[in-house]
A = this chain, B = another copy of it.
Amino acid sequence: MSKVLSKRIENLRKIMYARSVAVIGASNKKGTVGNEIILRLKEFGFKGKIYPVNLKYESVEDITAFASVIDIKKDVDVAVIAIPNINVLSAIEECHKANINGVIIISSGFKEIGAEGLKLEQDIIKTIKKYEMTLIGPNCLGVINSSPNVNFNACFAPENPVAGKIGLATQSGALASGIINILPQIRVGLGQMISLGNQADINVLDVIELWEHDDNINQILIYIESIPDSKRFKEICARVNKVKPILVIKSGRSSIGTKAAASHTGSLAGDDTLADALLSSAGVIREKYLREMFITAQVFNNCNLPKNEKLAIITNAGGPGVMATDTASEYNIELAELSDATKQTLKQFLPPQAGINNPLDVIASATHEQYTKAVDTVLSDSNVGMLMVIYLYITEQNDTGIIEDLEELKNKYLDKPIVAVFMTTTDFPIRLKKIIKNCTIPIFSYAVDAMHGISRLLERKHSLCVERNETPEIKVDEKAVKNILEQYKKSGIKQISTYSSLKIFEYYNIPVAKFEPAYTFKDAEKIAEKIGYPVVLKISSKTISHKTEVGGVVTNIRNKNELQNEWNALFNRLEKLNEIENLECVIVMKQINSKREFVAGIVNKQGENVAMFGVGGIFLEVLKEVAFSACPLSAYNAENLIKKTKAFNMLKEVRGFKPADLTKMRNILLSLSQMVEENSEINEIDINPIMVSSEGEIFTVDARIVLK
């Protein structure tokens, strides 16, 4: 990967690693933003020069102040602007004159307040572009870089962060302040924080690219409410996530819940769908809740990915061990079977009442030494890949001592992540800090939290293990497809007929139930004989899109007699509707009887193709077992999409019904993805249902392709 940063990223880096900062609107008035920022810069020990700028003061917090940035007459890397919105533009002009190219606008009163503010913001953007300056904000909390050679805290959050390697980018400035307070409680340090504000210039993707190559950042936490640039978002996230974990909270999830109830594919995908699909296909971890994001961050910060995925639980209290076991099962985390040798060893030194099993209950009376020896013994078992240590403080024990031992054992078993669940005295964190300055064992109060972290470790491991781009190309009869699409483009009709849609599916190697077009009853009869009864009659019309509503689909025709009757009845219905002349053909299709119905398709969300898969038929809206992933799909993405819902279970062996071939189902999704990538005129594709027969064979029986 090239370490040559784009000019844009280079400029952003200059801001974050500033050697000098001007604070426009610096103030001696306590409680003001202009005062808080100067205080933070000083308290945090900024390694560069601080230049307060304010007409009113000779000095601000004992630092010589300037009336204007122009008066500074020294190199200034960045100007932090904290003055009323209407004065910001002229301040930027002065920065330009003073040769300052990086600005952070703290001030609010821009896009977020409506038309008036938007105008101000647009003027600022123009000016920034004209002078080739770089801007963070406006309407933000500021930035922090805790690298010891920088110590740059240019924000007005009340607390200074503890240094570390987390990169935090947030669209909610106030949230950054909250997170700075919480990180020390989870023993995770902050490397850099960028409050994105209105993202008038620098946006979240620039920040991710900045951190991609910054060795001071090992993990990226993001809070966003919208995704700025879908294509770039997926590309950058997918790339950077391979190098350092990206954890994202994208709020506004609830729209997916409400909109998922809508009946058709197009409306099924709510506002959040695209974001979710992009995050999912980029392989980044999407957290729902802040608490869970912090848990994951704590575990990622301290644990290597496990080689073996089986978990051992060691506890000195039975009840919490049982609860942890329940939780493991809920997270689909498998418990390791301890080897006989391990059990023998454990029996030799543990109290006789100990439960030599997994969970291993060393019981409350186990001494510190016994506990630690049990941990070592269990970790040395090759059946064990990960360890959860549960410890309750009872009588004369030594909780901090156990953590000390775990720190040591951690280095002995580097590829075996250890998480601790400690229910001990209130002053434990304080006592622990006295003994271990930098504790690297993730410690939680509850097993469910630790289990969340472990499950994310496994999730990350799986997404990294798979080569995401190793995706088979589906062989296509391109000419035939182009022919059909050209015809439709010429005719101006947007909805491709059922027959042509099914043909395109065939050209894309999607399995369709046997079908042929009939134009006369004689045709239909011959086809039915050929493919075998029972058959389905299905109209393919240029005008009718909802076939069933006009009685255009007749199922379960079991013999020639019935075929004749139904054929006649069908044409009578069409005649009454005056639809005979719009009829392309009548499809005679092999009847597929199955209760296993799935939905697959492509929806267009804000110009992006999003693949969907889930439980189909009438259960679609009721069960809401549908998931989304952005196109183009890799083989990994497609498989992951299938596995995301209970539809996956329906593909397995069910009540004597044979399992479906997962690769074949995956390939349908890959075909759909390839189809929309190769034919940009396609807007939407909907297959509902895809049937899986009792023999496990997969058939699409209907298709709807809509052009842009």
Binding site for B on A (CB under 8 A): 30-33, 36, 108-109, 112-113, 141, 156-159, 170-175, 177-179, 181-182, 184-185, 223, 225, 249, 251-258, 260-261, 263-265, 288-291, 316-323, 325-330, 335, 352-353, 355, 357, 359, 361, 364, 392-396, 423-426, 445-449, 556, 595-596, 617-619, 621-623, 625, 646, 649-650, 652, 654-655, 657
Contacts and interface: CB of A to CB of B under 8 A. Distances in A.
Nearest to A259: B325
A655 B621 contact: yes
B112 A290 contact: no
A329 B257 contact: yes
Chain A's interface: helix, strand, loop or mixed, by majority? Answer: mixed
A394 B256 contact: no
A263 B595 contact: no
Contacts of A252: 322, 326
Contacts of A326: 251-254, 256-257, 288
A318 B257 contact: no
A174 B317 contact: yes
A702 to B, nearest CB: 15
Contacts of A619: 595, 619, 650
B423 A178 contact: yes
Contact of A158 (B265, B322, B325, B425): B425
A347 to B, nearest CB: 14
A289 B323 contact: yes
B395 A33 contact: yes
Contact of A353 (B108, B330, B355): B108
A318 B426 contact: no
A319 B175 contact: yes
Given A174-B316, A182-B445, A291-B445, A260 B321 contact: yes
Contact of A291 (B249, B394, B448): B448
A108 B657 CA distance: 52
Contacts of A364: 173-174
A392 B177 contact: yes
A290 B446 contact: yes
Given A158-B395, A181-B423, A319-B172, A623 B649 contact: yes
Contacts of A257: 322-323, 325-326, 329-330
B251 A323 contact: yes
Given A158-B425, A174-B317, 13 more contacts: A31-B396, A108-B353, A109-B353, A158-B393, A172-B317, A177-B423, A251-B319, A257-B323, A265-B318, A288-B448, A290-B446, A291-B448, A619-B650
A251 B328 CA distance: 12
Contact of A264 (B254, B264, B290, B321): B321
Contacts of A254: 325-326, 328-330
- Which among A36, A352, A426, A619 has the highest number of chain B CB atoms within 10 Å? A619
A240 to B, nearest CB: 22
20 contacts: A158-B394, A158-B395, A172-B319, A177-B392, A178-B317, A178-B393, A178-B424, A181-B425, A256-B329, A257-B326, A260-B357, A263-B357, A289-B447, A291-B449, A595-B617, A596-B618, A618-B654, A619-B650, A622-B649, A623-B623
Contacts of A181: 393, 423-426
A499 to B, nearest CB: 25
Given A158-B394, A621-B654, A328 B646 contact: no
A288 B324 CA distance: 11
Nearest to A30: B396
Given A170-B319, A319-B264, A113 B394 contact: no
Contacts of A353: 108-109, 112-113
A435 to B, nearest CB: 18
A261 B318 CA distance: 8
A260 B157 contact: no
A447 B322 CA distance: 28
A364 B621 CA distance: 40
B425 A159 contact: yes
Contact of A182 (B33, B316, B423): B423
A171 to B, nearest CB: 7
Contacts of A622: 646, 649-650, 652, 654
A225 B175 contact: no
Q: Which of A113, A158, A185, A255 has the most CB of B within 10 A?
A: A158
Given A263-B655, A319-B225, A392 B113 contact: no
A426 B31 contact: no
Nearest to A254: B329
Contacts of A263: 355, 357, 361, 655
B655 A618 contact: yes
Contacts of A623: 623, 625, 646, 649-650
Contacts of A261: 322
Nearest to A33: B395
B264 A355 contact: yes
A237 to B, nearest CB: 20
A264 B395 contact: no
A392 B618 contact: no
A489 to B, nearest CB: 33
Contacts of A595: 595, 617-619
Contacts of A617: 595
Nearest to A159: B425
Nearest to A156: B395
B225 A322 contact: yes
A140 to B, nearest CB: 11
